[in-house]
Structure 1
Amino acid sequence: MPYSDPKTLVSTQWLEDHLKDPDLRIIDASWYMPADARDPKAEYEAAHIPGARFFDIDEISDLRSDLPHMAPPVEKFMSRMRAMGIGDGHQVVVYDGAGLFSAARVWWLFRLMGKMDVAVLDGGLPKWQAEGRPIEDLPPTVRDRHMTVSRQAQMIKDVTQVAAASKLGDYQIIDARSAGRFAGTEPEPREGLRGGHIPNSKNVPFGELLNADGTMKDTAGLQAAFDAAGADLTKPVIASCGSGVTAAVICLGLERLGHDRHAIYDGSWSEWGMYNDLKVATGEE
């Protein structure tokens, strides 16, 4: 039986077994890079896990910021979740159409808002469909439920805090981007950004935490990936990536290892790579 934990990661079998639970709420959190040329909302409307609601990562964000999909204000998160019929006392399961990519970002957003009963579907929609499990194209039945939120400020870092951590070394900064982007040898997908990485960070491309089928590695595999990168997990961790999405895969992996002192640099490389007064390292750390 695959490992399942309703606070981090659940198997496709676990989810199918609980589909009829009255307090289960399922979220499709699919989001793709522009180069993928995929429309997550259209895909959701065509086929989704029964009862799933669509979570628009770009819209449920802080639209006052010029940076992409920054964490939304508490009031906005609460109002959007209430409109989706998600509130106190619900067990939430989040999945995406890539396997395990953007779902972890929404898992982390719930954690940021103090909601602990939330898990990612291991292997996501591709594994669910490959196993012949049920899908539908019907809109969910939504019943309003109040949500109480307690924002966990320690779980999110801004550029000033990350610059201090880079200099002082009191946090382990872990970058989830590809090795080429980390080294500055591959171009950034967003225009106008410098190549390289935050000084004193380590590189654990998020795919290193996954198996070939898009499921997350077991704890031994996760530990090996962090060890191979030279990451010091005796320190609290700040996870970074291109725009704060796959950094959450790092946080999910850490949580599976029992390492709960982790935060996301929400601006990530979209912010750091933009400002010439912030130092950039290239090559391998």
Structure 2
Amino acid sequence: MTAEKSPFVVSADWLQQRLGAPNLRIVDASWYLPAQKRDAKAEYDAGHIPGAVFFDHEGLSDPTSGLPHTLLSPVGFAGGVGALGLSETDTIVVYDGPGLFSAPRVWWMLRTMGAETVYLLDGGFDAWKAEGRPVTAERTVIDIATFTPRFDETAVTSFEEMTRIVDDQSRQIADARSAGRFTGEEPEPRAGMRSGHMPGARSLPATAFADQGRLKPLPALKAMIEEAGIDLTKPVVTSCGSGITAAVLSLALQSIGHKNNSLYDGSWSEWGSRPETKVVTGKA
């Protein structure tokens, strides 16, 4: 890794050299929107990095929330990832197919729940395969582990907190959805949701932070965030469609040393579907 790379990203060379190492755990965190026409579990079953386990975003979310991908309780999360063989003391490398889409969400969740040594695979599984690195369809044998959660409640913003933030502008809001959805020029992919954005929000499309599936260098991340109107000396809350790609912004912020940030877990799935919330259209 170079000084210009995120401290939370590891290269394919780094990971390949450590395959099979004690206390190294690998997680396939792939998840796709219907429009992407990819089946994450089927792709995992057909081939994955040796030793990788599959993280089911739907199965490992709160079924009572009524929203997609909502963070489980600390006890529920700990039980789910423990069943995957993950402990908070492990070195954990998370990847997805394209490289910077759903994997940052699992990176964020693991760190929010107390795991300290969590990395992303630069370039993701698509690049890993293209480079001819080891792939297997063999079932990963899982030794069930104990994950002891240490939940950082400051990392998560609730609906009630988000309502106050919009009203008093006490935190900056960074929105990871596409520019068209942010301005209201494109419809939301989920039925019953208004297009547009929260008053005061800034548009930082998550797709802009990757170059061929790799997180951009730190100077570029900093420049992009500042050019969007975010003051890095002040707190930030990240948001997106359903809480998945907001974690790309959380990753970018933390990579450049910004510590006072949280993720609005309900994101636009919650905000855009509630009739009482404030929504504006056009550019910020």
Q: Which TM-score band applies after superposition, normalised by the shorter structure?
A: over 0.9
Q: How many residues align?
A: 284
Distance 2:6 2:22 in 1: 15
- Residue correspondence of structure 1 range 161-180 to structure 2 within 5 A: 161-180=161-180
**Matched residue, 2:188:** 188
**Matched residue, 1:229:** 228
SS in structure 1 at match of 2:111: helix
1:261 maps onto 2:260 in alignment: yes
Percent identity of paired positions between Structure 1 and Structure 2: 46
**Matched residue, 1:121:** 121
SS in structure 2 at match of 1:173: strand
Given residue 254 of structure 2, which amino acid in structure 1 is its aligned partner?
A: E
Poorly superposed stretches of 4+, deviation over 3 Å: 1-7
Gaps of 5+ in 1: none
- What is the deviation of 1:254? 0.7
CA contact (8 A) 1:242 1:270 kept: yes
1:280 maps onto 2:279 in alignment: yes
SS in structure 2 at match of 1:199: coil
- Residue correspondence of structure 1 range 212-223 to structure 2 within 5 A: 213-223=212-222
After superposing the two structures, state which structure 1 stretch, 227-236 or 249-258, moved more. 227-236
Q: What is the Cα-based RMSD across aligned positions, in Å?
A: 1.5
CA contact (8 A) 2:88 2:116 kept: no
Distance 1:5 1:88 in 2: 24
After superposing the two structures, state which structure 1 stretch, 272-281 or 140-149, moved more. 140-149
SS in structure 2 at match of 1:284: coil
TM-score, L = length of structure 2: 0.96
- What is the deviation of 1:40? 0.6
SS in structure 2 at match of 1:107: helix
Distance 1:55 1:272 in 2: 26
TM-score, L = length of structure 1: 0.96
**Matched residue, 1:251:** 250
Given residue 62 of structure 1, which amino acid in structure 2 is its aligned partner?
A: D
- What is the deviation of 1:224? 1.2
After superposing the two structures, state which structure 1 stretch, 33-42 or 95-104, moved more. 33-42
CA contact (8 A) 1:6 1:117 kept: no
Provide Cα deviations, 1:170-217, integer angstroms capped at 9, x if missing partner: 211100001000000001110110010011010100112111x11001
- What is the deviation of 1:247? 0.2
Given residue 277 of structure 2, which amino acid in structure 1 is its aligned partner?
A: L
Distance 1:6 1:257 in 2: 7
CA contact (8 A) 2:4 2:218 kept: no
- What is the deviation of 1:144? 2.3
